[in-house]
Amino acid sequence: MRNFDFTPLWRSTIGFDRIFDLLDETQRTVEENYPPYNIERLGEDHYQISLALAGFSPDEIAITAEQNVLTVEGRKADEAKRDYLYRGIPAKGFKRQFNLADYVQVKTAAFDNGLLRIELARELPEAMKPRSIPIGGAEQITHKQAA
């Protein structure tokens, strides 16, 4: 993968630090393909992350959301020693992180048939939602005149 120098963008932007940090981090991070996952858009402001976690039980999985980062961790409980002839289902622990945009909240998580599904929704505060401004007549405008 090619690296991109963000220095020219730093000189001409203010307040975009988090975006550049995220882009920089993804260039440096070599992600492992375990566990496999999907990210779906279910609606305009609704999303779902599905992780394939064969061999894990719900009590071996921890989900944490804090400051725009969703972390999913899995730790296998110690099993009795088994004599596998072939082991194709990984049983290693993992830690997968997802960076969330502002105002994206984790709503629910469900584990069914080896799939962990996490529902997310973007919820803008009322103050940030567009609002309609009624137009009145000229009598509503007041002018202060200097004395």
Nearest to 122 by CA among 106, 111, 108: 106
Nearest to 34 by CA among 5, 7, 55, 4: 55
- Strands of 37-43's sheet, edge to edge? 37-43, 46-52, 115-122, 104-112
Position 88 scores a pLDDT of: 84
Sorted by where each starts, the structural domains of the chain and their CATH numbers stand as 1-30 (no CATH), 33-128 (2.60.40.790)
Nearest to 73 by CA among 48, 90, 56: 56
**In the chain, what's the furthest Cα-to-Cα distance?**
96
79-86 contacts at long range (C-beta below 8 A, 24 or more positions apart)? none
Tens digits of residue pLDDT in 44-61: 999 999 999 988 999 999
The backbone torsions φ and ψ at residue 145, rounded to the nearest 5 degrees and listed phi first, read -105, 140
Upstream peptide bond of 35 is cis (omega within 30 degrees of 0): yes
Q: Provide mean pLDDT across the span 133-141.
A: 76
Pick 30 or 121 by higher pLDDT: 121
Position 143 scores a pLDDT of: 62
pTM above 0.75, yes or no: no
CA distance 49 to 5: 31
